Amino acid sequence: MNIRQRIEESEEKNLSQYAMLSKNSKGRKETEEKCSIRTDFQRDRDRIIHSKSFRRLKHKTQVFIAPEGDHYRTRLTHTLEVSQIGRTIGRALGLNEDLIEAIALGHDLGHTPFGHTGERVLNQLNPNGFRHNEQSVKVVDFLEQKNGRNGLNLTYEVREGIRHHSGDSESQTLEGQVVKYADRIAYINHDIDDAIRAGVLNAADLPEKAIEVLGQSHGQRINNMIFDIIKNSMGKASILISSRVGKATDELRNFMFDNVYLNKNAKSEEKKTEYIIEQLYGYYMKNNNSLPKEHLDIYKGMNLGIEDIICDYIAGTTDRFIMNLYYNIFIPKPWQKL
């Protein structure tokens, strides 16, 4: 028996009846020979970690654009925190940690530069709209190149979990549902931490009733949210949070929108980032051939609208890359003698 089969047998023996077993995956779009060491979900996790899209997350905004301090979160550190929180919940509930990890590591691969500001601008510019969760699926299905082919050819369950990690829809697997909760737990709490570090918030500003329920410190709040989900989901066919903790979490999230995400000081550079994206989008609409050849080559033989091709390119850039791109295209260079 090979190692993968032993892992699959261990999953069947030890995981919850509600867990998604690796051997029961609906599989990949393109059939592949199975690995003798790793399960399909472990293999998906590794493909995501080794992708260029994953590496670019280290230079994409979480909340604060290109912060000078060393300790602010980026989209990459956010992703790692989501993975850790998700695995903690999954292990306690006897779910498939490998599937949770793969979904968590891939959930924001399609996020734009400048965080949700970039997402909002592209959604306004593109007639077909733009949603980062759908773009993340597009990245793993098509845009990420591996061995000369389009996409990473991930399993159905990982792709489905990535698609449903945000918005009103719900994943079919408990592992996907866990990631959706882990994402919210992570960003609410680490964004509070970063906002206090940035001087945008004081700890005393946090809503008193929510803090009474969730805890005074960063660690207490995360622990209490995780514990509540585990307690209310144990032995059940869905992932649940109590009304008390859920209400406090929503109150804290709404507070963050009012005081941080839409704060004029925290977002003082937002108009500039909107302008950069708008100008680059307009430039490429008039100058399609100025897009990099390696990007255009992805779409050979396809009848895809130029708006989507431009959005794919812009969404794939990092904060610093897109700022340099704007500078190189629109800012005159000093004359140098030939």
**DSSP per-residue letters across 183-197:** HHHHHHHHHHHHHHH
Containing 150, the helix (H) or strand (E) segment is strand 149-150
Judge contact between 140 and 151, C-beta under 8 A.
Answer: yes
Residues 6+ apart with CB under 8 A from 162: 103, 106, 107, 109, 133, 136, 137, 140
* Cβ within 8 Å of residue 196, ≥6 positions away: 202, 203
Q: 195 near 267, Cβ under 8 Å?
A: no
- Which CATH architecture describes the domain 44-261? Orthogonal Bundle (1.10)
d(CA 76, CA 79): 5
What does the alpha-carbon distance between residue 160 and residue 31 come to, in Å, rounded to a whole number?
A: 18
Element spanning 97, H or E: helix 97-106
Domain limits of the chain? 44-261
Q: How far apart are CA 38 and CA 240, in angstroms?
A: 30
pTM over 0.75: yes
**Do the beta carbons of residue 184 and residue 175 sit within 8 Å?**
no
Bridge partner list, 145: 150
User: For every one of its 338 residues, what pLDDT tens digit does the chain have, with 9 covering 90 and above?
Assistant: 699 999 999 999 999 999 999 999 999 999 999 999 999 999 999 999 999 999 999 999 888 776 777 888 999 999 999 999 999 999 999 999 999 999 999 999 999 999 999 999 999 999 999 999 999 999 999 999 887 789 999 999 999 999 999 989 999 999 999 999 999 999 999 999 999 998 989 999 999 999 999 999 999 999 999 999 999 999 999 999 999 999 999 999 999 999 988 777 767 788 999 999 999 999 999 999 999 999 999 998 888 899 999 999 999 999 999 999 999 999 998 887 77
Q: Which amino acid is present at 149?
A: R
